[in-house]
Amino acid sequence: MFWKPQNLQQCLRRLYSSSSCLAPTIKQILNNGQIPAKTVVHGWVKSIRRQKKATFIAVNDGSTLEGMQAVFLHPNGNVSDTISNVSTGTSVRLIGELIQSPGRGQEKELRVEEVVIFGLCDPLRYPIQKKDHSLEFLREHMHLRPRTSAIAAMLRVRGKLTQYFNDWYQNDGFIYVHPPVLTSNDCEGAGEAYQVMTQAKGIREEFPLFLTTSTQLHLEALTSSFTRVFTIAPSFRAERSQTNRHLNEFWMLEAEINFLEKGLSDVCNVLEASLKTVLGKLIMDEDVRYLREQGHLTEKQFQYWLNHSIPWTRVSYTQAIERLQEHHLSGRQPYFEFESPKWGQAFRSEHERWIAATMGANAQPGPVFVTDYPRNLKPFYMSVNEDIPEGATVACFDLLVPKLGELVGGSMRESREEKLSESLRLFGMSEPPLYIGNQFVVP
Amino acid sequence: MFWKPQNLQQCLRRLYSSSSCLAPTIKQILNNGQIPAKTVVHGWVKSIRRQKKATFIAVNDGSTLEGMQAVFLHPNGNVSDTISNVSTGTSVRLIGELIQSPGRGQEKELRVEEVVIFGLCDPLRYPIQKKDHSLEFLREHMHLRPRTSAIAAMLRVRGKLTQYFNDWYQNDGFIYVHPPVLTSNDCEGAGEAYQVMTQAKGIREEFPLFLTTSTQLHLEALTSSFTRVFTIAPSFRAERSQTNRHLNEFWMLEAEINFLEKGLSDVCNVLEASLKTVLGKLIMDEDVRYLREQGHLTEKQFQYWLNHSIPWTRVSYTQAIERLQEHHLSGRQPYFEFESPKWGQAFRSEHERWIAATMGANAQPGPVFVTDYPRNLKPFYMSVNEDIPEGATVACFDLLVPKLGELVGGSMRESREEKLSESLRLFGMSEPPLYIGNQFVVP
């Protein structure tokens, strides 16, 4: 008496092998060693080349960078009406035989026997053409821009990156948690958080709730139960700056670790190992190759930076300041727009880029950990170093990378009650009730 | 001249094997086949049993359900001061020898040789005891509740679930995307979205931006480029109801698929395969076992529901209504609080639970897909069935599961312009400019 879908029985074998019954994507078809008698391809036409004996169509379903070349032979020189109607952007189902491609540029191609057109596309009104479009132009066509190679590659890489970071952190004993987005916490500097309100049915209500700017405080609490936690989650800043380094909404990986045996160097080791492993897994990916070439980076550079046996440079803030001043005094290029900073001053972006361009491993461009910044440049909760003069620096790092500058920041959190109280006084902050280690402390 | 961390050389081998240099967690120690000469364990004391010849301490670092049993022998009956000071909640580093446990309840135990106490804990003020606490009590101690078995197990399972769903969908050709949280979209029913504002430095600004209630519309746009997309992301509803089915913030898996060859049954197949595979991977997990036992579900029930060769029931709304009415007329228990619904009316929660309790595979309790609801009960965008009377039902499903009721909902999206226009009229909605398939349509 129940409705039994007819295809369920046929699907059982595939269900049993734990994948769904969906028709394979172009990526799955091209990666499949066995070639079935009939191949079905769905997708959108990316470009068309009409010749006398055949029409060549590049069709993509978004699963790969290049898509599939489909070939329509013209028997006796006749071109069918269906093929004549196809234009860039048309959505189609193609059925045919997958063969070794006699042409260059692709290993396999589809010799099409049957075409179903789902949606025709007016070539005069369809904005995405084969040529490269500017990002500004594409921003006006948000719903279609993932059909371009650059945006599609970026989004696919983003998905893979997220997954690979998840894998790495979970394999290394980190618990993957989801701290709240709506929170009454703020983190490092007020006035930048969005607040939430409702105005349903004309009734207006404001709540003492903000969109998270960082999950750090929740992760710190969770690390007191789980030892190692991480999250990949959205963060929000009510930024007014329109630069390529300011976003109102972005996803961020954050991690907190308890019981470190070697302090800050443990933190740097975790970060270096995770970045090298995750990016190393992606280095041969076709989307990453495409994006790397757009960014004028060679594969050799990538391989060098991600080599597990070439440690990334670790240099203290104090040493980096000395190097910047040496460079400034030498009179050599590049010249800085802003003066070289003195001890106690923050780096400008140009100084950070110079450090990554010159102080990587073997004095080559490369990632550089700059550690132990002056206490006044960093938030109150960072652990004070026992250096000379005592309390001048904190145990923290910024990871600087070529072209971008700061990619990651981190620190040891201060766990000594007297040092934390001292920092609160130094930073002119009132002392709230504090919870330290396993003790409640009400100053 | 650069600072070279001394431990980096020692770490190279581990770095090279792509994991970090952190000391292993209790889970990693217990799963490691080789037993090193010295074992270091970090964690918090969960319980203490003091006996004449030895003190037994259960210590956990949050990586496992049970943690590690640590044994402190008392040579000549002397108990060291350090051991005397240890109480529930104390954070410790324990160094010793890992041995086969002569006692019951654990395979291995740590014969402790050295103890470092990081933080003592006042047993009179520490709220987490060995006994079970109510969820209400734990809500007052949010930062410590992940130290209880129930909350810790739930959070660990949540992390694994997220990861396994990610794996399954990516393996099945879905692209993992991150649609915006801040959006001007709303989805199915207005007035429930939070709006955002800022009031930095006394200047108040409201924005025409809402927190997403569902990523569906963004996913639909992306599926026109990627064919198959999914996300696991936070959603927000300005709910006023305080029930166990209403949350202001929750994470949700959403997926959209293009080019389905078999319509709704394809969608149900994807869902059934993903749930069976993901939950099947977790069935032997110690945390899941613990939570299952708390919920009074047997492993046999789970195995039955997740068996790939026993398809879940698929029944139409119309057939489910007939069954509910038969049951109502039979006079058998359970009696419904609300009358059995007539065709065209929505199910109440008790009806949904009855369906899952009686109409699973082989008339046992189990998951049930109820499909093809009346058009008036569902949103305007669902695809209209070509049934008799035409246009009475839409191609959708709700997945009902025992005890909970509705777990997942889905539908075919209407892609026929005239049907969509008709729905907009029927639902009394104005017709905005529409984009259908590959054509812009301005009605």
User: With contacts defined as CB-CB under 8 Å, which chain A residues touch B61?
Assistant: 226-227, 259
User: How many Cβ atoms from other residues are within 10 Å of residue A372's Cβ?
Assistant: 24
Give me the pLDDT at residue A190, please: 43
A149 touches chain B (CB under 8 A): no
What residues does CATH 2.40.50.140 cover in chain B? 5-129
The DSSP bridge pattern shows strands A405-411 and A396-401 to be antiparallel
- pLDDT at B8 exceeding the cut of 50: no
Give me the pLDDT at residue B157, please: 97
Alpha-carbon gap: A335 to the closest alpha carbon of chain B (Å): 24
User: With contacts defined as CB-CB under 8 Å, which chain A residues touch B5?
Assistant: 262, 265, 268-269, 314
B210 touches chain A (CB under 8 A): no
pLDDT digits (tens, 9 = 90+) for B363-408: 999 999 999 999 999 999 999 999 878 889 999 999 999 988 999 9
Residue written as tokens 């009415």? B325
SS (H, E, C) B338-407: CCCCCCCCCCCHHHHHHHHHHCCHHHCCCCEEEECCEHHHCCCCECECCCCCCCCEECEEEEEECCCEEE
User: With contacts defined as CB-CB under 8 Å, which chain B residues touch A199?
Assistant: 195
CA dist B258 and B225 (Å) reads 9
- Indicate the CATH number for domain A5-129: 2.40.50.140
Please report the residues numbered 386 through 415 in chain A whose beta carbons come closer than 8 angstroms to any beta carbon of chain B: none
Residue B7: phi and psi, rounded to 5, are -85, 0
B437 touches chain A (CB under 8 A): yes
* Contact of A26 with A41, CB cutoff 8 Å: yes
Alpha-carbon gap: A315 to the closest alpha carbon of chain B (Å): 5
User: In terms of C-beta density within 10 A (0-12 exposed, 13-18 middle, 19 or more buried), how is residue B1 classed?
Assistant: exposed
A431: amino acid identity, one letter: E
Give me the pLDDT at residue B4, please: 39
Helix-then-strand count for chain A, H and E: 12, 17
Give A97's strand partners: A111
Of A61, A160, A316, the CB nearest to B227: A61
Residue B216: phi and psi, rounded to 5, are -50, -50
User: With contacts defined as CB-CB under 8 Å, which chain B residues touch A260?
Assistant: 22
Q: Using the beta-carbon criterion (under 8 Å), do A121 and B439 form an inter-chain contact?
A: yes
pLDDT digits (tens, 9 = 90+) for B316-331: 999 999 999 999 999 8
Give me the pLDDT at residue B389, please: 83
Half-sphere exposure of B53 (CA within 13 A, CB side): 0
Cα–Cα distance list, A120 to A322, B65, B432 (Å): 64, 57, 22
CA dist A229 and B62 (Å) reads 10
Give me the pLDDT at residue A37, please: 82
Cα–Cα distance list, A154 to A160, B175, B426 (Å): 10, 11, 41
CA dist A166 and A147 (Å) reads 27
pLDDT digits (tens, 9 = 90+) for A407-435: 999 999 998 888 988 888 888 876 665 54
To probe the interface with B, which of A226, A370, A385, A415 has the most B CB atoms within 10 Å? A226
Give me the pLDDT at residue A402, please: 92
Cα–Cα distance list, A25 to A36, A167, B227, B261, B288 (Å): 14, 24, 8, 13, 34
B251 touches chain A (CB under 8 A): yes
Alpha-carbon gap: B76 to the closest alpha carbon of chain A (Å): 32
* Percent with pLDDT over 90 in chain B: 65
CA dist A38 and A97 (Å) reads 5
Give me the pLDDT at residue B432, please: 60
- pLDDT at A436 exceeding the cut of 60: no
Give residues with Cβ within 8 angstroms of B332, minimum separation 6: none
CA dist B44 and B41 (Å) reads 10
Mean pLDDT of A259-288: 94
Q: Using the beta-carbon criterion (under 8 Å), do A143 and B248 form an inter-chain contact?
A: no
Residue A389, preceding bond cis, omega within 30 degrees? yes
User: With contacts defined as CB-CB under 8 Å, which chain A residues touch B147?
Assistant: 224-225
Give me the pLDDT at residue A434, please: 53
B13 touches chain A (CB under 8 A): no
User: With contacts defined as CB-CB under 8 Å, which chain A residues touch B226?
Assistant: 61-63, 146, 152, 155
Alpha-carbon gap: A53 to the closest alpha carbon of chain B (Å): 28
Residue A104: phi and psi, rounded to 5, are -90, 165
B123 touches chain A (CB under 8 A): no
Of B63, B119, B195, the CB nearest to A197: B195
A210 touches chain B (CB under 8 A): no
CA dist B14 and B17 (Å) reads 5
ipTM of the complex: 0.91
What residues does CATH 3.30.930.10 cover in chain A? 310-443
Q: Using the beta-carbon criterion (under 8 Å), do A308 and B201 form an inter-chain contact?
A: no
Give me the pLDDT at residue B430, please: 67
Helix-then-strand count for chain B, H and E: 12, 17
pLDDT digits (tens, 9 = 90+) for B73-95: 998 888 888 889 999 999 999 99
User: How many Cβ atoms from other residues are within 10 Å of residue A117's Cβ?
Assistant: 16
Q: Using the beta-carbon criterion (under 8 Å), do B173 and A277 form an inter-chain contact?
A: no
Give me the pLDDT at residue B433, please: 55
Give B127's strand partners: none
User: With contacts defined as CB-CB under 8 Å, which chain A residues touch B273?
Assistant: 14-15, 18-21
Give me the pLDDT at residue B436, please: 44
Of B15, B159, B196, the CB nearest to A196: B196
Looking only at Cα atoms, what is the longest distance across chain A?
93
User: In terms of C-beta density within 10 A (0-12 exposed, 13-18 middle, 19 or more buried), how is residue A443 classed?
Assistant: exposed
Instruction: Supply A69's token pair.
Output: 């070349």
Give residues with Cβ within 8 angstroms of B158, minimum separation 6: A176, A177, A178
More confident residue, B432 or B203: B203
Closest residue in B to A360 (Cα) is B2
Q: A310-443, what's its fold?
A: BirA Bifunctional Protein; domain 2 (3.30.930)
Q: Using the beta-carbon criterion (under 8 Å), do A197 and B201 form an inter-chain contact?
A: no
- pLDDT at A269 exceeding the cut of 60: yes
pTM: 0.91
- pLDDT at B45 exceeding the cut of 90: yes
* Contact of B336 with B356, CB cutoff 8 Å: no
DSSP string, A169-198: HHHTT-EE----SEES---SSSS-S-EEEE
User: With contacts defined as CB-CB under 8 Å, which chain B residues touch A436?
Assistant: 119
B247 touches chain A (CB under 8 A): no
3-state secondary structure (DSSP) of residue B199: coil
User: With contacts defined as CB-CB under 8 Å, which chain B residues touch A143?
Assistant: 221, 224, 435
- pLDDT at B276 exceeding the cut of 80: yes
* Contact of A311 with A272, CB cutoff 8 Å: yes
CA dist B337 and A214 (Å) reads 46
A294 touches chain B (CB under 8 A): no
- pLDDT at A442 exceeding the cut of 90: no
Instruction: Supply B361's token pair.
Output: 């595979």
Mean pLDDT of B100-121: 92
Residue A334, preceding bond cis, omega within 30 degrees? yes
Query: In Å, how far from its chain's centre is CA A275?
Result: 11
To probe the interface with A, which of B86, B145, B226, B362 has the most A CB atoms within 10 Å? B226
To probe the interface with B, which of A149, A259, A326, A420 has the most B CB atoms within 10 Å? A259
Q: Using the beta-carbon criterion (under 8 Å), do A200 and B177 form an inter-chain contact?
A: no
Of A146, A268, A311, the CB nearest to B225: A146
Give me the pLDDT at residue B201, please: 72
Q: Using the beta-carbon criterion (under 8 Å), do B8 and A269 form an inter-chain contact?
A: yes
Give me the pLDDT at residue A12, please: 40
- pLDDT at B33 exceeding the cut of 50: yes
A224 touches chain B (CB under 8 A): yes
Average pLDDT, whole number, for chain A? 88
Of A224, A236, A61, A262, which Cα lies nearest the Cα of A156?
A61
Closest residue in A to B311 (Cα) is A8
